Structure 1
Amino acid sequence: MRIIGLLGGMSAESTTLYYQAMNRLVRERLGGLHSAQLLMWSVDFAPIAEMQAQGAWEAAGEVLAQAAGRLEGAGAEAILICANTMHLVADQVQAAIGVPLIHIADATAAAVKAAGCSRPLLLATRFTMEKAFYRDRLRAQGVEAAVPDAADRDRLHAIIYDELCQGVVTQASKTDVLAMIEKAQACDSVIFGCTEVGLLLSPEDLALPVIDTALVHAQAAVDFALS
């Protein structure tokens, strides 16, 4: 089994989901007492979030690149950035290491297509919904993601940072996000494109197919680890 290095803490709430999911998936595949071989570097998210807000992406990328190098030095044979938004600096991180970086958008695109879909609604931070890095990578693989309108993007961004990343889950926010999905008449699926969205919604809440990016990313990592 290969060793996977997790770049976590962005936020710590969803990094916990990665750890649980990867260990569960390995146990399901191998049985018995098997679990995933993992190394983790969990950042302090507050400085990273401030860099995001200021548009200091290169500086944020350097923090992750250094951490990825430490994970590689400790024996990691592939790296996961346990967040969607910070894949904006994925190329910078990959350039700093000699092992593969398993990209969350690639895992997401594959899962959308496996569900027989091509026009998902992307629910994510404002950075992930509005900047080109994520939707362009999906598009290159035949997935054309739509996003909520500007007011809903602002509301969703606030829910993620002010609530979910801090472990706060409210019925009011769930109702608001379900209303956003209801508006997306032309979409054939929903991407939980922030790794915290699965804390607020579950696939059972929706009639459309759901791609939870944290889970499909964890699956891709386990596939690599056991290949």
Structure 2
Amino acid sequence: MKLLGMIGGTSWHSTIEYYKLINELAGERIGHEQNPPLLIYSQNIQLMREQNKEKINQTYLETARNLERAGAQGILICANTPHMVYDFVQPQINIPILHIAEAIGRSAQEKGLKTLGLLGNRPTMTGSFIPSYLKEHFDIDTVIPDVEYIDISHEFVSKELTQGKFTEEAKKFYKCQMKYLAKKGAEGMIMGCTELPLLIKQEESDFPLISTTQLHAQMAVDFILNV
């Protein structure tokens, strides 16, 4: 099995979910009497909250290099938003970063979805690191909520979901946004915050949900097992 380096901490709730999923999914394939080798570095979530892009880039680069020096053969960033560093970090290390949008694109392609709604925090919804990757590699378009709803979503993510709080108010908000995004052409919804699939399950939605965490974890297991 390949040694995978994981960069977590944004939030630690999502890191736990990634660690749990990777071990469960690997266990289904190699047996639960063993588990994959993993290196985990947990960032302080305050780094992302400062919104200093240069500092974020440099910190993730240093962390990725440290994991590479420690023997990691690939890097998994255990959240959606920190993938903003991909274009900066990937060219400066010698091992692959498993991009979350690759996992999203493969799933959408299998489902025959050509336009996806993107939900998450402000940097994820307004940034280009998921939409541009999907467009370039899969010819998939993305739509996002209007500005005022982006702000509300950001508040739910930063003040509740990443703190482990899952309220009916948040669930109602995101279900309404899904209906709105469907009117804008979305055929499926990217749950672009690691905690969103914990808030709303597929059986609670009228639309196909792209659970980024589950798909990214499966991609990680495929890498570890050389699939």
Would you call these one fold, judging by a TM-score over 0.5?
yes
* Residue number in structure 1 paired with 2:208: 209
Structure 1 residue 59: Cα displacement: 1.2
Measure how far apart 1:119 and its partner are: 1.0
Q: Which residue of 2 aligns with 1:188?
A: 187
**Percent identity, aligned pairs only?**
36
How does the TM-score come out when normalised to structure 1?
0.94
Equivalent position SS for 1:120: strand
Partner residue of 1:178?
175
**Aligned residue number for residue 110 of structure 2:** 114
Alignment map for 1:17-166 (pairs within 5 Å): 17-50=17-50, 52=51, 56-140=52-136, 141-166=138-163
Give the Å deviation of 1:131. Answer: 2.1
**Unaligned regions of 5+ residues in structure 1, if any?**
none
Q: Check conservation: 1:58, 1:89, Cα contact below 8 A.
A: no
For the residues of structure 2 that align with 1:49 and 1:36, how far apart are their CA atoms?
31
- Between 1:142-151 and 1:29-38, the stretch displaced more is 29-38
Corresponding residue SS for 1:133: coil
- Give the CA deviation at 1:129: 1.1
Q: CA RMSD in A?
A: 1.2
Tell me the TM-score normalized by structure 2.
0.94
* In 2, Cα distance between equivalents of 1:36 and 1:139: 33
Give the match's secondary structure for 1:122.
strand
How many residues are matched?
223
Letter in 2 for 1:97: I
| Deviation string, structure 1 residues 36-91 (Cα, Å, up to 9, x no partner) | 211100011113311x2xxx212111111111111111111100111111111112
Residue 14 of structure 1: CA displacement?
A: 0.7
What do residues 166-203 of structure 1 show as CA deviations (whole Å, max 9, x unaligned)?
Answer: 11111111111111112222221111012121221111
What's 2:2 paired with? 2
Contact between 1:61 and 1:92, CA under 8 Å: does it hold in 2?
Answer: yes
- d(CA) in 1 for partners of 2:123 and 2:71? 32
Deviation, 1:34, is 2.4
| Worse-matched range after superposition: 72-81 or 124-133 | 124-133
Bigger mean CA offset, 189-198 vs 19-28? 189-198
Deviations 1:84-140 (A, max 9, x none): 111111122213321111111111111111112111111111111112222111111
CA distance in 2, matches of 1:2, 1:133: 26
Which residue matches 2:199?
A: 200
**Structure 2 unmatched ranges of 5 or more:** none
